[in-house]
Amino acid sequence: MATSSKPAPPPVSPPGRPEVKRAPLGLSPAAPSLPAQGGTGRRDLASGMGLSSKPHAVGERGGLVSRAWEQGLPVAVMLLVFMLIWYGGAWGMNATGAVERVLEPSGNPWNWQDLLITTLNMERPVLPAPHQIALDFWSSLVDWPVDSPRNLLFHVAVTGETTLVGFVMGTVLGLVLSVLIVHSRTLDRALLPWIVASQTVPVLAIAPIVLVILGSLGLEGLAPKAVIAMYLSFFPVTVAMVQGLRSPQVIETEMMHTYAATRWQALWMLRLPAALPFLFPALRVGIAASLVGAMVAELPTGATAGLGARLLTGSYYGNTLAIWSALVMSALLGLVLTTLVALTEHLALRHRRQP
């Protein structure tokens, strides 16, 4: 320690900066080390929310190749191990069924190779092998016209629409609520605890009620599902924006005051820009939550289209492959939606990169 005479900064809040007053209400595990501005702090938050894909330390010398080596190799090895375990699991879990339903009835003598091939190519396996899922996935994309309910893209369109509408509604609601809460002490104290409590109500529980109430108002189809998606996605936005809108330092708000800026001007020119680094991680969480909401909402609404409905019909008819294809598709949809938000973030904040 003798070599470094410079005192290290306190780990949490940089000097002159008010400590983050409110714990982030459980959404972001990395809450305590909330971002000062941009850069590293934001990455902490993002990785805490489980969204960071950046490596922890890429050396300056590290070009694209060494970075790919450092990051890609471990991931590739992990994926390979995972695949092997999967194949092993498929073999183990399907073995009994394969013997009982395929090999014994055929009457021919069989050896372990036959067993292996049979287990990996069963019609209704307990655990389908990855290549079976890939084939089923591909055929559901290619073999049917896009508007057929057997085509997964049809279901993706339905669920994606619900997700996006719910996400936009949730984001708007979250923004409005956070602006109100930041400007009114009464709302801060009266409303915020209930907003937190609202998230402890399981979303599927409120779905039938939303259906009944909106149905009596004559709203059916998209609206109830979007409302349920909104219910899940407004929360991260609200909580993060309350924190973000409060993030400007005292000195900055005082300067706005000396300029005789109105509340609106202070909001527009200081608070909102300062809150953007908080907003985007919340949006990424919000759109993933919105997707969960949209899929769950399809279960009790008796929807016939959408990824959730596809899961339900697959489960009714014991069609394992259909379930797994829908599962893969929903994972892909989630990834694509989050990537879109991350790209928007990159565009919006590209001038704020710290050197």
Window 252-311: residues binding other proteins (CB under 8 A): 263, 284-285, 288, 291-292, 295-296, 299-300, 307-308, 311
List the one residue out of 246, 345, 352, 333 whose CA is nearest residue 291: 333
As a whole number of angstroms, the distance between CA 247 and CA 232 comes to: 24
> Which of 58, 68, 78, 117 is close enough to bind other proteins by CB under 8 A?
78
DSSP 8-state assignment for residue 351:
G
For other proteins, the closer of residues 65 and 108 by Cβ is 65
Give me the helix-helix angle, 130-142 and 152-183, nearest 10°. Answer: 90
Q: Are 131 and 328 in contact (CB under 8 A)?
A: no
List the one residue out of 214, 193, 243 whose CA is nearest residue 301: 214
**What binding mask, one character per residue, do residues 308-337 give for other proteins by CB under 8 A, x or -?**
x--xx-xx--x-x--xx-xx--xx--xx-x
Shortest approach of other proteins to residue 201 CB, angstroms? 4
Phi, psi of 291 (to 5 degrees): -65, -45
> Which of 20, 152, 156, 227 is close enough to bind other proteins by CB under 8 A?
20
Q: Is 216 in the site for other proteins (CB under 8 A)?
A: yes
Q: How many residues bind other proteins (CB under 8 A)?
A: 93
Shortest approach of other proteins to residue 330 CB, angstroms? 5
Q: Which of residues 150-189 bind other proteins (CB under 8 A)?
A: 183-186, 188-189
For other proteins, the closer of residues 121 and 319 by Cβ is 319
Q: Are 167 and 233 in contact (CB under 8 A)?
A: yes
Q: Which of residues 219-238 bind other proteins (CB under 8 A)?
A: none
Which amino acid belongs to residue 239?
V
**What binding mask, one character per residue, do residues 112-151 give for other proteins by CB under 8 A, x or -?**
--------------x-------------------------
Give me the helix-helix angle, 222-245 and 203-216, nearest 10°. Answer: 120
